[in-house]
Amino acid sequence: MTYSYMDGDLYYFMDNETYEQLPVGKDIVGDSLKFVKENEVCKICSYKGNVFAVEAPFFVELEVTDTEPGFKGDTATGAQKPATVETGAQINVPLFINIGDFIKIDTRTEEYLSRVK
């Protein structure tokens, strides 16, 4: 299902075949969508019509909206700094990442994987 939007404590998902909207409570979603933008496809887990979990895509590409200035050539030390991505979530990234860079994130481990060109 496609994540459509959030309204109050409800997250709305659209069935891609029937275009029906499915509201899911914030208590069920939890932090699972912290790296997910609108119009991303997610997995809705349900049993007998009752939703019990929402799974984000394993990998997402997001733009860095806030971080300290980067340092060219500083790729060997493995040092990291905090960065905020366009969904508002924070993640640790290498020192060479700048505002405006797009990065690939593993949503299962919440780790930086690579910079996207």
pLDDT band at 94; cut points 50, 70, 90: very high
Report pLDDT digits (tens) over 10-32: 999 999 999 999 999 999 999 99
- Residue 58 CA to residue 72 CA, distance in Å, equals 29
Whether the per-residue pLDDT at 78 is higher than 60: the answer is yes
Tell me the CATH class for 59-116.
Answer: mainly beta
Contacts of 99 (CB under 8 A, 6+ apart): 64, 65, 66, 67
For residue 18, give every residue at least 6 positions away whose Cβ sits within 8 Å of its Cβ, in sequence order, or none. Answer: none
Give me the pLDDT at residue 117, please.
76
Domains 2-55 and 59-116 share a fold: yes
Average pLDDT (109-117) is 93
Domain locations in the chain? Answer: 2-55, 59-116
Q: Which CATH number fits domain 2-55: 2.40.50.140, 3.30.70.890, 3.40.50.720, 3.40.50.300?
A: 2.40.50.140
